[in-house]
Amino acid sequence: MAKITFKGNPINTSGDLPAVGSNAPDFVLTTDSLEDVGLARYKGKKKILNIVPSLDTGVCAARARRVDKDVASHDDVVCLTVSDDLPFASSRFCKAEGVSNVITLSELRDREFGSAYGVRIVDGPLAGLLSRAVVVLDENNTVVYTEQVPEIAQEPDYDAALKAVS
- Give the CATH number of the domain where residue 122 resides: 3.40.30.10
pLDDT tens digits, 65-98: 777 777 777 788 998 999 999 998 888 887 877 7
Nearest to 46 by CA among 71, 17, 64: 71
| Parent domain of 144 | 3-165
Is the pLDDT assigned to residue 32 strictly greater than 90?
A: yes
Q: Which residues contact 73 (CB under 8 A, 6 or more apart)?
A: none
Catalytic residue among 2, 17, 48, 60: 60
94 is catalytic: no
pLDDT tens digits, 43-72: 999 999 999 998 877 776 776 777 777 777
Q: What is the domain count for the chain?
A: 1
pLDDT tens digits, 116-166: 999 999 999 999 999 999 999 999 999 999 999 999 988 888 889 888 988
Query: Which H or E run contains 47?
Result: strand 46-51
Axis-axis angle for helices 158-165, 58-71 (nearest 10): 30
Average pLDDT, the chain: 90
